[in-house]
Amino acid sequence: MKRIAFDIGDPALASRGGCVTIGGDSPVAVQTMTNTHTRDIEPTLEQCRRMASAGAQLIRLTTQGPKEVESLAEIRRRLHAEGIYTPLVADVHFRSDVAMAAARVADKVRINPGNFAQDHEEACARFRELIAVCRQCGTALRIGLNHGSLGQRILSLYGATPTAMKEAVMEWLRMCVEEDFYRVAVSLKASNTRVMVDAYRLLAAAMDEEFGCRFPFHLGITEAGNGDEGRIKSAVGIGALLREGIGDTVRVSLTEDPVNEIAAGFKIVEAAAMDFDGPVNAADWEEFIIRVAVRFGPDLLDCKTDDCDLEGSVVAGVPVAKADLERVKDILLQACRRRFTRPEYIACPGCGRTMYDLEGTFNEVKRRTAHLSGMRIAVMGCIVNGPGEMADADWGYVGESNGYVSIFRGKEAVARRVPQQEAIDRLLELIEKS
């Protein structure tokens, strides 16, 4: 099967990290995304510098309007002046005019064309215009569609299913093929590993059958959370696909310092290429849990096995303690949707749309809800995408505007404009009363 490949960035700068090839037989590229406000140039620059020195091969920035496009251009100019050439990706939602402006200054633009307009024909027309700009400027595109952001038209045809995700992307890819535009990667992320893996598999099969070739896949689990849970969940979904040859670039979304995503990403890519046999040995704890998840996750996820015997070491010759192995196993079985023994947390990584201390709040919510086994609790950075993206959460804590939070029960907002300092108490009160 032919696998499409293209360069992102300037090939003349390849030896200095300024160009990455996505797809074909190229190594899987690891990327991340800033969580600063892109308009705040200094903190964003500083984060980009740290990401580049940690090995990020692509850096994505929130680009919600014309001001952010200008900031992105300035950030790119200043990074180049410092000798940092890592390709930059503009993350654009809703506005095709912003996507087109961003395509003139970024190396790649991430969009979901379905939300360019309510009317499908209008969205198609805008998408074709964007392709024309990308062709003219040599800019790559990612069609990034999440389980939680499917349009009404597709939902009414297929429901919120992996098939719906696959069908939605195939519509846009057909247009790319008609336009003879192949500088396109695709992503179909979900916070549910089962849904995510099924969606990518369906899409790979559909591309093979209809196009006879594969566009590059960007893999990721959305709203994976943080700590061991976030890493294990990401390693299960991304690792399962990489092991079967699906995946050209990855992002591990963590509700943490985004620089941490890069080492985790490389460790997943490395583990997916390993032949495992015997105990899982690793150089550090992160590597250990990722290797465990990549080794046992795929079979658990596909119900080829019901259990796993964990053993291994992170210090040569010293076995990992039994209690730690049990904890990892509980997290792994839950990540694979096989056994639920703890609350299920859905937390976005935050981005330039986040209006509060997401990581601190998420850790506090986790601390105070640790007893609610089986409950699905979302902590989301913004009201624009948060409610849609929190998937099937029972409860949601969603940043509304500076200093205020909305609390959701399922899809319904049950408390609005709750001052942030009272919001966790309010969430717990509402859960208690329900």
Rounded Cα–Cα distance for residues 104 and 69 (Å): 9
Closer of 59 and 380 to ligand SF4 (Cβ): 380
Q: Is 32 in the site for ligand SF4 (CB under 6 A)?
A: no
The 3-state secondary structure of 131-163, one letter per residue: HHHHHHHCCEEEEEEEHHHCCHHHHHHHCCCHH
Instruction: Choose, by CB under 6 A, the member of 238, 385, 395, 397 that binds ligand SF4.
Output: 385
24 by DSSP, 3-state: which?
A: coil
Q: What is the distance, to the nearest Å, from the Cα of residue 113 to the centroid of all Cα atoms in its chain?
A: 17
Stretch that binds ligand SF4, among 23-31, 74-82, 360-368, 379-387 (CB under 6 A): 379-387
- Token pair in block for residue 119: 């009317």
User: Is residue 144 near ligand SF4 by the rule CB under 6 A?
Assistant: no
Q: Is-contact 72 90, C-beta < 8 A? A: yes
Does 351 contact ligand SF4 by CB under 6 A?
Answer: yes
- Give just the sign of the alpha carbon dihedral 253, 285, 345, 415: negative
Region near ligand SF4 per CB under 6 A, out of 44-52, 191-199, 257-265, 377-385: 377-385
What residues form DSSP beta bridges with 50? none
Residues ≥6 apart with Cβ < 8 Å to 114:
120, 123, 145, 149, 150, 151, 154, 168, 172
Give the range of 202-210, 236-244, 304-312, 378-386 binding ligand SF4 by CB under 6 A: 378-386
Give the CB-side neighbour count of residue 71, counting CA atoms within 13 A: 21
List the one residue from 95, 233, 267, 353 that touches ligand SF4 (CB under 6 A): 353
Question: Residue 216 interacts with ligand SF4 (CB under 6 A)?
Answer: no
Nearest distance, CB of residue 42 and ligand SF4, angstroms: 20
Q: Which helix (H) or strand (E) holds 395?
A: strand 395-401
Of residues 283 through 302, those in contact with ligand SF4 by CB under 6 A are none
Q: Which stretch binds ligand SF4 (CB under 6 A): 47-55, 230-238, 285-293, 383-391?
A: 383-391
Is 421 buried (19+), middle (13-18) or exposed (0-12) by CB count in 10 A?
exposed
Residue from 422, 429, 428, 379 nearest 404 by CA = 422
Q: Which is nearer to ligand SF4, 7 or 394 (CB)?
A: 394
Per CB under 6 A, the list member of 224, 386, 395, 408 interacting with ligand SF4 is 386
380 counts as binding ligand SF4 under rule CB under 6 A: yes
Q: Is 382 in the site for ligand SF4 (CB under 6 A)?
A: yes
Other CB atoms closer than 10 Å to residue 372's CB: what's the count? 16
Pick 84 or 380: Cβ nearer ligand SF4: 380
Sites for ligand SF4 among residues 388-417 (CB under 6 A): 389
Should residue 387 be labelled a site residue for ligand SF4 when binding is judged by CB under 6 A? no
| For ligand SF4, the closer CB: 99 or 292 | 99
Instruction: Tell me: does residue 22 bind ligand SF4 (CB under 6 A).
Output: no
Q: Helices 66-81 and 96-103: crossing angle, nearest 10°?
A: 20
Q: Segment 330-349, which members bind ligand SF4 (CB under 6 A)?
A: 348-349
User: Smallest gap, in angstroms, from Cβ of residue 185 to ligand SF4?
Assistant: 19
Residue 381 found at the interface with ligand SF4 (CB under 6 A): yes
Please give the distance of CA 419 from its chain centroid, rounded to a whole number.
29
325 binds ligand SF4 (CB under 6 A): no
| Size of site (CB under 6 A) for ligand SF4 | 13
What letter represents residue 116's amino acid?
F
**Contact residues: ligand SF4, CB under 6 A:** 348-351, 353-354, 380-382, 384-386, 389
